[in-house]
Amino acid sequence: MREELLREIEIELEAIRRENEQTEQRRKEEISNLFPEIAALTRERENLVFGTLRDILRGGAKAEDLPEKMKQLNQQIRTKLEEKGYPADYLAPVYRCPICKDTGVIGETIKETCECVKKRYQAMLRRDLGLTGSEQQTFERFRDDVFSDEKAPGSNFSVREHMLLVKSNCEQWANQYPKCEKRDLLLYGPSGLGKTFLLHAMASRLIERNIPVLLVSAYDFLQTTRNEYFGGGNITDDLMNVQVLMIDDLGSEPMVQSVTVEQLFRVINGRQNKNLATVISTNLSLEEFKKRYTERIASRMTDIRNCKMLPLIGKDIRRCIQLTAKEADA
């Protein structure tokens, strides 16, 4: 887990705990102002706890009666609150997460991270990768009805069947990684067929499975590596060492000849040597890919022993949708 995100979560939990205390205090004051008889019961409960503690410390322990008395008092308070039209637990401690009581950890001797922290962490990763919002792209939201039922060029399948096949390959890979058949993926084909969507969906699934993933556009990839190239530094640790690196829309970035190719080679080669996965999407055909990035890179991303190649076939669905919308208007 990334340190800076864990710190952010710890700060959030602290704020939540403070807010809980304020809520408890506010409710206590409200009830004691409105209903003195309930306030009397809560005071009795406090005195019971502190009185028993005092007795124990003085050696005259009689703690065995405490649980039963507490139970009775709690019940009285709950009943009274309900009579007044409040929830029975209105004066109980307030927690957003009842499992860890907003501490973020569970377990007495062996401390474990609570599910709520894992959820927060995943949400932050999604936020950092730009995977949030109502347009969240996940496999569950994949729509095959936007694809045509016409036969895909040069294939026995329709475009829709073909896309469903590609989607199921991507989903299976994201479900199984690192225990998948092929470590790397190359999604290639014309633009507007949902390659970015599939990359986002895979990243979302990997995050759900707690697998570190970094998704960058080819443009950002080039900027980062170029700055380092001219600055004389090393390629960022993240690009080199994250378990899964996804580069979206390779081929769309401006070509700075020796830099682009050299840095891309270093990253892909370095990652393959460490057996870390790289997923690339590109609008280029395999021929164009080879031409632009040289045989050296192409051979690494098209090596069928390690890389699954997923060709996307069909027309730009964004254009199809626009056309259909225009037809409907007409």
Helix (H, G, I), strand (E, B) or coil at 15: helix
| Spatial contact of 157 and 151, defined as CB atoms under 8 Å apart | yes
97: contact with Zn ion by CB under 5 A: yes
CB of 114 to Zn ion, least distance (A): 3
Burial of residue 73 (number of CB atoms within 10 Å: 0-12, 13-18, 19+): middle
Nearest distance from C-beta of residue 100 to Zn ion, angstroms = 3
Residue 12 or 44: the one with the smaller Cβ distance to Zn ion is: 12
Nearer to Zn ion, 97 or 186 (CB): 97
Question: Exactly one of 9, 94, 114, 264 binds Zn ion (CB under 5 A); which one?
Answer: 114
Of 13, 31, 91, 100, the one binding Zn ion (CB under 5 A) is: 100
Q: Does 13 bind Zn ion (CB under 5 A)?
A: no
- Binding piece for Zn ion, criterion CB under 5 A, among 116-124, 139-147, 155-163, 304-312: 116-124
Q: Is 99 in the site for Zn ion (CB under 5 A)?
A: yes
In total, the chain counts a number of residues equal to 330
By beta-carbon proximity to Zn ion, the closer residue of 97 and 242 is: 97
Task: For residue 111, give the 3-state DSSP assignment.
Answer: coil
HEC assignment per residue over 46-104: HHHHHHHHHHHHCCCCCHHHHHHHHHHHHHHHHHHHHHCCCCCCCCCCCCCCCCCCCCC
Q: Is 94 in the site for Zn ion (CB under 5 A)?
A: no
- CA separation for the pair 109, 101 (Å, rounded): 17
Closer by beta carbon to Zn ion, 124 or else 186 = 124
Binding site for Zn ion (CB under 5 A): 97, 99-100, 114, 116
